[in-house]
Amino acid sequence: MKIILASQSPRRKQLLGYLVPSFEQQSADIDESVLDNEDPQHYVERLANQKAVAIFNKIISPEDSLVIGSDTTVVNNGEILGKPESLDECKSMLMALSGKEHQVMTAYSVVTKAKTVTKTVITSVQFATVTEQQVIDYWHTGEPQDKAGSYAIQGIGGKFVTSINGSVSAVVGLPLVELDATLKEFK
């Protein structure tokens, strides 16, 4: 079966490589805007599924293809924290997370001609207390600019995380244990 990852993320590519020996990567160009009154879990599930379906619909011979889409969001007090577009947005997000626990939701969707499975993994992340200067210094590393919630646990941003309860790989971008179990359903 031909497997396609509907993402150009190097992190997701690395993680999926731990589960399957060979696959292709294709980028799904979808609108990632939050819909009115959309809760965070529905949001990540919708995006993961839309990414997978967008790529699946382009496949010439879908009978022997499997597409995996995934999306991750950071949720603080029920609010979805997207990718920061400025230092001020980054400061606002990271100062709101400072010293508190928040959730990271990662959904994945596995699509074939026969069926679709979409699941969400929720991990609680405890942040250390951070200062505004630490946030400014972190912004200038370039790391937070394309990260949901303005940080990368697998990078420099990991220094802000004091503990997690749940899946580390889900926080990075692809929940390995859960995805591995789901992929076995397709064999």
Question: What is the rounded distance in angstroms from the CA atom of residue 116 to the CA atom of residue 56?
Answer: 11
Across-strand partners of 103?
75, 124
Q: Are the CB atoms for 134 and 174 separated by under 8 Å?
A: no
Q: Are the CB atoms for 47 and 54 separated by under 8 Å?
A: no
Tokens representing 146 are 């394309």
Q: Are the CB atoms for 183 and 112 separated by under 8 Å?
A: no
Across-strand partners of 18?
none
Q: Are the CB atoms for 150 and 86 separated by under 8 Å?
A: no
Catalytic residue among 31, 36, 71, 180: 71
Is 71 an annotated catalytic residue?
yes
Contacts of 57 by beta carbon, 8 Å cutoff, 6+ apart = none
Catalogue the active-site residues.
71
